[in-house]
Amino acid sequence: MKCPQCYLNQEFKCKYSAVPYCESCCALVHSHPDREDHMPECATNPTRGIRMVLSAVLCIHTSHYVTYCRVPAPPPLVPEEMAGPSSSTSPTPQSPYCWVFFDSMADREGGIGGYNIPQVEECPQLEEWLQNPAKLLHEKDRAPDFVKRLISDALLCFYIREKDT
C-alpha cells in the first residue's frame, strides 16, 4: 500500500511521492480522523519475495515521544515440565515475541533538578490487534488504551526482514 496524501503535508516535503505501508499499518495510520479522507493505493513491490515484520512504532503526542517495541518474550518462570497438574490442560505454543511500551519520561522525581523515571509495560494482545486491520477499523472504540494511543499517535513504523527475527 502507499498513500500520496501522507506526503502532501508541508511537514513531509521530501523526494518521495507517497508513503509506503504494509496493509496493517496502512489501516492503523488511516484510522485516525485526520487521515480518513486519504486514498491509499496498491503499490508495486520492488522487494518482491522479501517479507518484512513490524518491529517498532515511534509515537508522538504534544512533543513527547514514546515507543512500542516487539521484543523477545521472557522465558516462563516455571519450565513446562515442572509446572505440574495446575498448569493448563492444553498447552499452547507461546510466541517468541511480545510487545512492550516504553516511555522514557513516564514519571518525574524531584522537580526542576530532578530526573525522569522511565517505564516499560507489556502490551498484551497488541499483536492480535495489529494482525487484524478490520478489527482496528471497526472495533477501535473497544480497544485497550495502549492500542488507541498507538493508533492516534503513530509517527514512524520500523520493520526488519522476517528471516532476521
Q: What is the pLDDT of residues 85-143, one digit of tens each?
A: 544 433 344 568 899 999 988 887 887 888 888 899 999 889 888 888 788 878 888 88
Question: pLDDT band at 48, cuts 50/70/90?
Answer: low
pTM for this entry: 0.60
Question: pLDDT band at 9, cuts 50/70/90?
Answer: low
Among 13-17, 21-25, 130-134, 156-160, the range scoring the smallest mean pLDDT is 13-17
- Report which of 49, 47, 52 is spatially closest to residue 70, judged by C-alpha positions: 52
Q: Across all residues in the chain, what is the average pLDDT?
A: 78
End-to-end CA distance of the chain: 23
DSSP assignment of 73-101 equals: PPPPSS-GGGS-TTS-SS--PPPSEEEEE
Only one residue has cell 517498532, namely 56
- C-alpha–C-alpha distance, residues 122 and 133, integer Å: 21
